[in-house]
Amino acid sequence: MSSSSPTTAPTPSDLAAHRLAALRAELDRMDDALHDMLMRRAEVVAQVGALGAKGSVPLRPGREAAIVRRLLARHRGGLAAATVVRIWRELLAGTTSQQRPMLITVCEPESGPSLVAVAREHFGALTPLSTHRTPAQAINDISAGHATAAVLPVPAEGEPPSAAWWTALLQKDDPRIHVVARLPIWAQRPEGAPLGQALVVSAAPPDPSGQDRSLLGLELSRETSRARLASSLAAAGLPAGKLILRRDPGAPAALALAEVAGFVEDADERLPKLQSVLRPPVVLGAYATPIGEFE
């Protein structure tokens, strides 16, 4: 007569440990698959770079904003949307640097929120940054070919001439510098995110994201009122959402900065229709509307 040892039933602790091991193995497989996709993405980025589509400055902020918008529109589950944005910002910064090394120069204000923190959030933790105290110094780094882009304070009404960096872009010097992005790119800020606001300028022209705003620089008679200018812009089909008017002492003309909806280019047929200006308006650039601003 044969006998057998009794089978010991697994305990709840044993079952939990087995389940945990299985889930961790699944996560490892998923990490490998993600890594494979990242490596493949880098290969495709290299192929894009070899085509020379980005020119000498490897920045396409509009396309990057469109990518993030598309991903957020399809996002589901418990992973925070802000985490998705952070992951892709690091990824986009890394693949941009893969095509050509980047240096971002930042005009860091003496007071208020740090623009270095805003630049780090957008351009990645490892992208080299340099800082300056004045916008002119930061812009000079671009003109000299030392920097890929400059992060500058958002223009404000009544700021001193030295801070009104946008007036220099009216000259359309060579290389011509444009506004290409606004930071941060998503408006609904999570707790702990940098609070600064900035514009990015570069020697590359802006590219459309599908939801954009453009900046126009205007030269007009010193007697032209804000209301008249706003009416003229609206009549030309370019209603301004934000309008800055400067009448600097001793200057022969007033200068204005108008933010208008949409992606406006130099050849836009509405620009010649604009009245109340002394010379044709200058398109200073464009940027993607911050994600979630109207949600």
Q: 60: burial class by Cβ within 10 Å (0-12, 13-18, 19+)?
A: buried
How far apart, in whole angstroms, are the C-alpha atoms of residue 5 and residue 156? 84
Averaged pLDDT of the chain: 92
Q: Decide if 61 contacts 68 (C-beta within 8 A).
A: no
What pLDDT shows up at residue 194? Answer: 87
Neighbours of 2 (CB within 10 A): 3
- Give the residue carrying structure tokens 């050849």: 267
Q: Decide if 279 contacts 267 (C-beta within 8 A).
A: no
Q: Decide if 274 contacts 233 (C-beta within 8 A).
A: yes
- pLDDT beyond 50 at 46: yes
What pLDDT shows up at residue 215? Answer: 98
Record the pTM. 0.91
Q: Is 149 helix (H, G, I), strand (E, B) or coil?
A: strand
- pLDDT beyond 50 at 294: no
- The CATH number that domain 81-288 falls under is 3.30.70.260
How far apart, in whole angstroms, are the C-alpha atoms of residue 263 and residue 234? 16
Q: Decide if 153 contacts 135 (C-beta within 8 A).
A: yes
For the stretch 215-246, pLDDT in tens is 999 999 999 999 999 999 999 999 999 999 99
Q: Where are the domains of the chain?
A: 81-288
Q: Which residue has the higher pLDDT, 54 or 215?
A: 215
Q: Is 226 helix (H, G, I), strand (E, B) or coil?
A: helix
What pLDDT shows up at residue 2? Answer: 53
